[in-house]
């Protein structure tokens, strides 16, 4: 009975030792697997931490670039606004000058017409005086006047009439010259006004595109430049980074300009 009991105990002991060895092997294998998983998790954490730091760094750089581009856009907007105001003031000034010269030309035309009418009246008066003098000389000859005196008097009257006619012709020529100069000046001012209008339109359409060419090449900045319905340029900013930032949507900067209402 003891032998059987000992044998049974030995078998039980062997079985328990085998189970213990199996459990130990399983425990070691689990520890190795857990250690490998922990190492991979730590490596993944390190990678994610590194990516997070890089992302934060790129985010800071992108935000700084965004602020810089917005400041440049605001500055260029102010410059364009001043240029547009300057061009509009120049157009208004030219329009005022053209209106003044047109008024001067109208006044000179009226003055010329009056001088022509006065010249015709004076010429008719002189002709009447000449006829009267001639008729008086023919009808009532003065016995005290010799032919030489009479010829001298006629020559003096002719010279006086010629001088008056010459003065009137000079005044008429000066008035015509002033009218021609005023017309030339008006044409020149109208040409300048047209040039200013064209320059203003070109500034509205293409000046901003050229000014922001460097911004479009920088990797982030302007995506497109277009005209608003009122004719003013509109700038569309977007992120040019390699990744999209959450909460950062494209921003559109636009401004209106004053309508050109200068009339001649």
Residue 236: how many other CB atoms lie within 10 Å? 14
Query: What domain count does the chain have?
Result: 1
**Is residue 158 in a domain?**
yes
**Is residue 62 in a domain?**
yes
Please, are residues 202 and 233 in contact by the beta-carbon 8 Å criterion? no
d(CA 141, CA 128): 19
* pTM score, whole prediction: 0.37
d(CA 98, CA 187): 9
Q: What is the domain extent for residue 213?
A: 2-254
**Is residue 262 in a domain?**
no
**What distance lies between CA 208 and its chain's CA centroid?**
7
**Is residue 260 in a domain?**
no
| Residue 222 vs residues 21, 78, 242, 247, 260: alpha-carbon distances, Å | 71, 17, 16, 19, 28
Q: Which residue has the higher pLDDT, 39 or 118?
A: 39
Q: Per residue in 70-127, pLDDT tens?
A: 998 899 889 888 988 888 888 888 888 878 878 887 887 888 788 778 878 877 777 7
**Is residue 76 in a domain?**
yes
Three-class secondary structure of residue 244 per DSSP: coil
Q: Per residue in 189-232, pLDDT tens?
A: 777 777 777 777 776 666 566 656 655 655 444 444 444 444 44
pLDDT at 43: 93
């Amino acid at each position: 009975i003891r032998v059987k009991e000992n044998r049974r105990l030995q078998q039980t002991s062997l079985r328990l030792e085998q189970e213990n060895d199996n459990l130990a092997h399983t425990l070691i294998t689990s520890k190795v697997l857990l250690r490998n998983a922990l190492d991979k998790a730590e490596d993944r954490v390190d990678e994610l931490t590194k990516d997070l730091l890089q992302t934060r760094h790129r985010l800071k750089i992108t935000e700084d670039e965004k602020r810089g581009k917005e400041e440049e856009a605001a500055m260029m907007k102010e410059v364009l606004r001043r240029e547009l105001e300057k061009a509009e003031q120049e157009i208004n000034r030219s329009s005022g000058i053209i209106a003044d010269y047109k008024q001067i030309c109208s006044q000179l035309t009226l003055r010329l017409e009056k001088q022509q009418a006065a010249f015709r009246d004076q010429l008719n008066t002189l002709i009447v005086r000449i006829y009267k003098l001639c008729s008086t000389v023919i009808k009532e000859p003065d016995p005290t006047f010799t032919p030489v005196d009479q010829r001298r008097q006629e020559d003096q009257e002719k010279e006086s009439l010629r001088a008056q006619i010459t003065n009137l012709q000079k005044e008429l020529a000066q008035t015509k010259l002033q009218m021609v100069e005023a017309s030339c000046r008006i044409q020149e001012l109208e040409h300048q006004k047209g040039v200013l209008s064209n320059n203003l339109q070109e500034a509205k359409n293409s000046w901003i595109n050229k000014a922001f060419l460097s911004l479009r090449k920088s990797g982030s900045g302007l995506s497109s430049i277009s005209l608003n319905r009122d004719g003013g340029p509109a700038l569309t900013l977007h992120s040019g980074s390699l990744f999209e930032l959450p909460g950062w949507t494209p921003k559109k900067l636009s401004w209106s300009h004053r309508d050109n209402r200068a009339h001649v």
